[in-house]
Chain A
Amino acid sequence: MTNFSLTNEWNNVLLKVKKWARINSPWLIHYNSGSCNGCDIEILATLTPRYDAERFGVKLQGSPRHADVLICTGPVTRQSRDRLLRIYEQMPDPKFVVAVGSCAISGGVFQGCYNVVGHIDEVIPVDAYVPGCPPRPEAIIDGLVKLLTAIQKGAPVEPPAITQLTEEIYDAA
């Protein structure tokens, strides 16, 4: 392995370029961890011509390994919890999570259901919340833009510490 380091000056330039690229083309991945589909169809509507989120460089991706932003909908059910963690772990750093809908924020109407673990940030760290049942496409765009603005202003891009939950799962696997 070759060891090379940049001078401070060049390193700063590189960071600036990275940030510029990150803000201008956030690729999304969407995971439904127990949602009723309401938020999911609104996320799709956000990408279609009326709302056209692609003008922000947003693109829906199929693979977690290509994505920067994870869009989560719904409460986390017992079956999908491991999968949600796995998708989160598969995403390259830096990664951001947007929780869309009341259920993703608080569990919504499904609070207390026997098969519901809880809301998204009980399982993975969340960067932006979009409330509503379901939120309008405008609200989802607003959430995304707020996230991008926060990144531009210098929100931490270092990945948060891996939760203990994840380690448990890897032990079990």
Chain B
Amino acid sequence: MTTIPMPTKEKFIVPIGPQHPALKEPGHFEFAVDGEIVTDATVRLGYVHRGIEKAAEARNWTQNLYLVERICGICSHIHALTYSLGVEKLAEVEVPRRAQAIRVLVAELERVHSHLLWFGVAAHEAGFDTLFMYSWRDRETIMDILEALTGNRVNYSANVLGGVKFDVSPEQCKVILTGIDFLEERTRHYLNVATSDSMFLQRTRGIGITRLRDAQRLGIVGPTARASGVIRDVRVDAPYAAYDEFPVQMVVETAGDLEARFVVRLKELFESFRLIREILANLPAGDLQVKRFPRKIKAGEVISRVEAPRGEVFYYIRSTGGEQPDRLKVRTPTLCNMASVLSLSIGHHLADVPMLLVGIDPCFSCNDRGVTISGNEGNGRWTWERLRQFGIDYYARKV
């Protein structure tokens, strides 16, 4: 019998995805491991790339509102809000204060739903399924409120260009406040679990520490960055909609590990509850929509920034004076945070990787935007002109 000498440093690659039990969304990861320890990590994104930015150029300003809402089902209101704020700025339309306050109200309710959803999924990754079931049970409270308010559980379509679609009645106020009281009590319990349950802390405390310097270098955004001590929140730095009237207190932690990310998100919930109560108590009087919103938007370009539950959402909108946008560019928080997962997982146990991934609160549907086309023309950087020409030729061939 001959023996084959084993190489001392064998590289073993663990492929994960795109269909995998950990997340409900497709993403492909490859982790090179040395025993239990991850030594290298790569990601392949783009399974959910649909080409929304291009599709937006073929639809009119109002139709796009419903298209951008479906960039992401979890933060659908945020996308529609960013888009409408941008288009309204471009059209130079002043939106009534009451409409802006209701937009903020829905945005904060959505933040509550999104953070509770994340908390459940994170608990599931940690192997704590009981907590997952509890937090999703409680999340139904907020889904009921959103449904009572807007008529739909997920894609609320609260925004129209120049205002909102619905008003908040005193009865609805009462329902919201009861729900918020219940959730506040539950959130206090969850914060207690996340910071004191010893089994849970073994999965979170000291895992995936991101220092302030690294967080800034990697360009991490949102609660993930605030858990590393980055003082950045669009709601505070550049108040939009009605956030100047109803200011928020930024929640910042400095530890930078997974526990800090849990704490930041759960503490943000208290801030959202406070804000919702404040808005309901001081809802400004006024109209819900502007009288008339132009069908054609004058030529120009605008950027619009909004703080989504996962971090900063950035829209660039350009108009040439027509009924459709000339260009719509979307930048969402998950792609900014994805780099941190890859660099963090190196040196960690493979078992910690799902927790690290879920720690940034990934959302692949708004993440998958780029597409690389490799053809005979050679790879490399594509200029806008070349891409445009490619699109024209592609559709010409198709027809």
Contacts and interface: CB of A to CB of B under 8 A. Distances in A.
Contact of B48 (A41, A63, A74, A87): A74
A133 B73 CA distance: 10
Interface string B13-57: 000001111001110000000000000000000111111101100
A62 B117 CA distance: 20
A50 B55 contact: no
A113 B52 contact: yes
Interface string A42-78: 1111001110000000000111100000000011010
B83 to A, nearest CB: 14
Given A32-B26, A113-B54, A83 B47 contact: yes
Contacts, number: 124
Interface string A82-123: 010001000000000000000000001110111110000000
A48 B123 CA distance: 14
A74 B365 CA distance: 10
Given A33-B26, A37-B73, A45 B140 contact: yes
B155 A38 contact: yes
A104 B344 CA distance: 36
A151 B58 CA distance: 43
A35 B133 contact: no
B105 to A, nearest CB: 21
Given A48-B137, A83-B26, A112 B21 contact: no
Contacts of B70: 36, 38, 108-110, 133
A80 interface: yes
B48 A49 contact: no
B282 to A, nearest CB: 32
Contacts of A148: none
Interface in A5-62: 29-45, 48-50, 61-62
Contact of A114 (B21, B132, B153, B394): B394
B143 A77 contact: no
| Interface hub of B19, B74, B394 (most chain A Cβ within 10 A) | B19
Given A115-B50, A136-B153, A41 B67 contact: no
B73 A35 contact: yes
B66 interface: yes
Contact of B19 (A31, A34, A36): A31
A142 to B, nearest CB: 15
16 contacts: A33-B26, A36-B70, A36-B71, A37-B24, A37-B365, A38-B70, A42-B154, A50-B136, A83-B18, A110-B55, A113-B50, A113-B54, A115-B51, A134-B153, A134-B155, A136-B153
Interface of B: 18-21, 24-26, 46-52, 54-55, 58, 66-67, 70-74, 76, 117, 120, 132-133, 136-137, 139-140, 143, 153-155, 363-365, 371, 391, 394
Interface of A: 29-45, 48-50, 61-64, 74-75, 77, 79-80, 83, 87, 108-110, 112-116, 133-134, 136
Q: What 5 A-B pairs have minimum CB-CB distances, sorted nearest first?
A: A38-B73, A62-B21, A48-B136, A37-B73, A113-B51
Given A44-B136, A80-B47, A110-B70, 9 more contacts: A38-B154, A41-B24, A77-B47, A83-B47, A87-B19, A115-B50, A115-B371, A133-B70, A136-B153
